[in-house]
Chains A and B, each alone.
Chain A
Amino acid sequence: MEVPILKQGEYLIATFQAALSDADLENLRRALVHQVVRFRSRGVIVDVTAMDVMDSFASRTLREIAHMIRLRGAETVIVGIQPEVAFAMVQLGLTLEGVATALDLEEGLAYLIEKFKNMD
C-alpha cells in the first residue's frame, strides 16, 4: 500500500494509513527522500494518526527517515501519535529520540514554520 505524499508549499506531508507492512515503510522512506530532493522541501510531516500500533521496525524507519532528510538540510516532524500508542512505545523503549514530534498536523506545521522563521 502506498503512502500518499502531499506537497504544501515548502513542506511535504505523508499520511499513514493503518497497518503498513515493512515493505511499505521502506518504500515510504525512499519516496520521501526522493521527493525532498525533487522539490527542495524544507520540512516533512509524517502523520501517523491512523497508526494504532508502533513496532520497533516502524520506529527505527521513522528515525532513519528523519536522519536522511536532515542530511538534505530539511526537518522532519512526526505527528498524531495516539496516547495508547505513545504509552506502549515508551514501555518498549521506543522513544523516537532525536526526532521532533507534535500533537497533530496543525502543530506540526506551526513547529516547522517557527523553526525556519528563526533560521531566515
Chain B
Amino acid sequence: MARRESSAKDSGTRTNNGKELAPNEAPSELLRELVAHLRQNRTQLREEWVGRISETRLLTAMTKEEIFAEATSVYDSYVEALETETFEALQAYARNLSERIIPRGVETHEVVGIVLLLRDVLARSLFAKYQADFRKLNRILDAYEPAANRIANTVAVGFVQERERVIRQQQEAIRELSTPVLQVRERLLILPIIGVIDPQRARQLTEQLLRGIRTNRAKVVVIDITGVAAMDVTVANHLVQTVEASRLLGATVIVTGLSPEIAQTLVTIGVDLGKMNTVGDLQGGIEQAERLLGYKVMAVAEPR
C-alpha cells in the first residue's frame, strides 16, 4: 500500500498536464502507464527502430519487408512481456524467430543488436515524455530497466540456444553420414573413413565397427583412411585401440591408405607396427583380406 510521504524537496512537482503527482506511485501502476505509452506510439516508435536497424546495417541478410514484419512481431512481444512481466511467451517467440532467421545467416550479434536498439529507442521516448519530471522519470525507469534487460537477455539466450541445437543436429547428421560399415563379402567388412576425425567421432567409429563385427560375424575388417588428411596422437591411439578391440572379437584388421604424414604420426607415438596390419591402398587391402578368408579371385572371361 502506498504511503504518502511529505518531503521538503517535494515542492509542487507537476506533470505536463498540471496534475499533482503522488510521490510513491506503485511500480505496477508505472509499468501500466509506460506500456500504454508504448502502445499508443507504436507506429512511430517501430518506424524509428527499423530506421536505426538499417542505419547500423544489421539484418543485411533480410529484405526491408521481412525486417518490417519481424519488427512488428518483436515490438508487440516486447511490449507484452513488459506488461505481463512474464517471459515464457517471449522465449517461445525468440526460439521460433531464431528457427526462421538462422538459416538466413543472421548472426548472434545482429539479434542482440536489434533488441538493444529497441530498448534504446523506447528508453529515449520515455526520456522525452517525462523530461519535465526527473523524479517520475527515475521511477519509470526503475520499472522499465529490469524488465527491458530481462527481455534482451531472454531473446539473446533463446537465439543462442536455437543455434546450439542446430549445430548439434548437424554434427549428428555428419557423424552418421560418414561412418558406414559395409560388408563386401561374407565375413569381410570395409570401413572407409573420410574427413576429420575428432576423438568423439573416433569413439563412435569404434563402437559402430565392433557392433558391425558382431552382427556380420566378420573375420576381417579393412579400415581405409585414404580420405583422412591428418591424425593427431589421440586419434592415432584410438585407431590402435580399434584394432586391438576388433581382435578381441576375433576379427583381423587391415589398415589401408596411410598417408606419409599419418605414417609419421604412428611411428612417432611408437605404435608397434608389427601389431598393425597395413597395406598401401584399398585395393591391396581387399585382396589381402580375400586371401586371409581363403578366397581366390580370377578373371574367367573378358570384361564385357
**Binary contact track B138-162/A, C-beta < 8 Å → 1, others 0:** 0000000000000000000000000
Q: Is there an interface contact between B244 and A103, defined as CB atoms closer than 8 Å?
A: no
> Any chain B CB within 8 A of the CB of A35?
no
> Any chain B CB within 8 A of the CB of A81?
yes
Q: Which residues of A contact B276 (CB under 8 A)?
A: none
* Chain B binding surface SS class: helix
> Any chain A CB within 8 A of the CB of B213?
yes
Binding stretch for chain B, among A10-18, A26-34, A67-75, A84-92: A84-92
Q: A87-B207, A87-B210 are in contact. Are A81 and B249 (CB under 8 A)?
A: yes
Q: Which of B202-216 contact A (CB under 8 A)?
A: 206-207, 210-211, 213-214
C-alpha gap A90/B247 in the complex (Å): 10
> Any chain A CB within 8 A of the CB of B250?
yes
> Any chain B CB within 8 A of the CB of A9?
no
Name B217's contact: one of A82, A86, A101, A103 (CB within 8 Å): A103
Chain B: which residue is nearest A95 at the CB level? B244
C-alpha gap A102/B241 in the complex (Å): 17
Q: Which residues of B contact A107 (CB under 8 A)?
A: 217, 219, 250
C-alpha gap A51/B246 in the complex (Å): 17
C-alpha gap A96/B207 in the complex (Å): 19
Q: Report A49 CB to chain B, min CB distance, Å.
A: 11
Q: Is there an interface contact between B241 and A101, defined as CB atoms closer than 8 Å?
A: no
Q: A89-B245, A91-B241 are in contact. Are A83 and B214 (CB under 8 A)?
A: yes
Name B251's contact: one of A79, A90, A103 (CB within 8 Å): A103
Q: Which residues of A contact B207 (CB under 8 A)?
A: 83-84, 87
Name A's B-contacting residues (CB within 8 A). 78-79, 81-84, 86-87, 89-91, 95-96, 101-104, 107, 111
